[in-house]
Every structure is written in C-alpha cells, then in structure tokens.
Structure 1
Amino acid sequence: MKILKYPFEVDGEVNIQMPAGARVLTVQVQYGSPCLWAAVVPEAPIETRSFRIFATGQKIDIDLTQAQYIGTFPLREGSFIGHLFEI
C-alpha cells in the first residue's frame, strides 16, 4: 500500500483514475493546485472515481445522502472555497 497524490482541475465534476479499493484520505492545495491524496494498492486494477466540487454559496444539485464529503479547500488566496464530494 502507498499514499498517492491526484491533482485535479476545478471544473464541477472531476473524474480520477486510481486503483480499485483506494481509500480517499483528504483534499488539500499544494503549490496553488488542488490535490486529492489516497491510500492505494498500486497493483490493483484501475477504476474511475467521480467527484463534484461546489463553491461556497453555490446551489447543490446532487443528493447529499448519496455523496461522501471529502473536504474543503481554498484557492486564489481564499477568494474561492471549494467543497469536494465523491458521488
């Protein structure tokens, strides 16, 4: 098992390919870019995981009972606050 980093673009829906069974640990900003860290078994088959980003104040158009909150992260010196959910 290893912890790997998955940088992503802030674009509403985010699809990230990672080994099956990966455990998402956190979302943070590194060098100005949002990144997701996950504990993975690198040899496991690859699967696509889907996430949604909502800005503070933005209407949430998904059923939050069916989503897993991952974390909140600031960008652009705090002028954008994103909230990441796995869907």
Structure 2
Amino acid sequence: MARILKHKIPAASEFTLPLHEGSKLLKLDVVNEKAYIWALEDESKPQRGVKFRMVMTGEEINLEPYMMYIGTFILFNGSFVGHLFVDTSVPMPIYEGI
C-alpha cells in the first residue's frame, strides 16, 4: 500500500534521499523556512538512495544530461533561491516532474 511521505532537503549542494523503488515525486515546497519533497511511496518495496543536486540562482553549474530539473524553492524572504535537480541515470520511475 502506498503512502505520501515527506523528506527534508538538507542544506547541501549534493545529497541522497532514501526513496522506495517506484516512488513518484509529487511536490517540492517550503514549510517554516525548510524545504521538503513529498513522494508517493510503496513502503513494501526496498529503499534506494536517489541523488539530488541543488544550485543557487546565479551559481555557475555544469550539470550532466541525466540531471532533471525538479523545481525551485525560496527561503528567507527571497535571500536564498534553490533549484533542485534529480539524478535520472539510475532507472527508477519517479521522475515524472512536480
């Protein structure tokens, strides 16, 4: 049975989140000045580390072609704007966009 689970986005340019195989990313948003991703996940399936990359507005980046844009979030009244990408090089049908 699937549930919608919330995952906190750490303050790091690259990080891995444990998502269940076949999870679907639903939403990227901010709650109380912290960024989160919500995903529809079947907890009976094994977890796999999914890699993410966060970049700030104006930052020079060199993204691999398999990095797919997920969304943008704003913190601290606009003083921090993060753009989140997910690594799609490992096949896992979670990248349908938010």
| TM-score in same-fold range (> 0.5) | yes
Equivalences, count: 86
Q: Please name the residue that 1:3 is paired with.
A: 4
1:32 Cα offset (Å): 1.1
Cα distance in structure 2, aligned partners of 1:3 and 1:60: 32
Secondary structure of the 1:59 match is coil
Q: Please name the residue that 2:42 is paired with.
A: 41
Matches within 5 A, 1:35-74: 35-63=36-64, 65-74=65-74
Q: Please name the residue that 1:77 is paired with.
A: 77
Q: Which moved more, 1:65-74 or 1:45-54?
A: 65-74
1:45 Cα offset (Å): 0.3
5+ long unaligned stretches in structure 2: 88-98
Amino acid at match of 2:15: V
Secondary structure of the 2:77 match is helix
1:62 Cα offset (Å): 1.4
- Backbone CA RMSD of aligned residues: 1.0
1:18 Cα offset (Å): 1.4
Identity %: 33
Q: TM-score, normalised by structure 1?
A: 0.92
Q: Please name the residue that 1:25 is paired with.
A: 26
Cα distance in structure 2, aligned partners of 1:82 and 1:8: 11
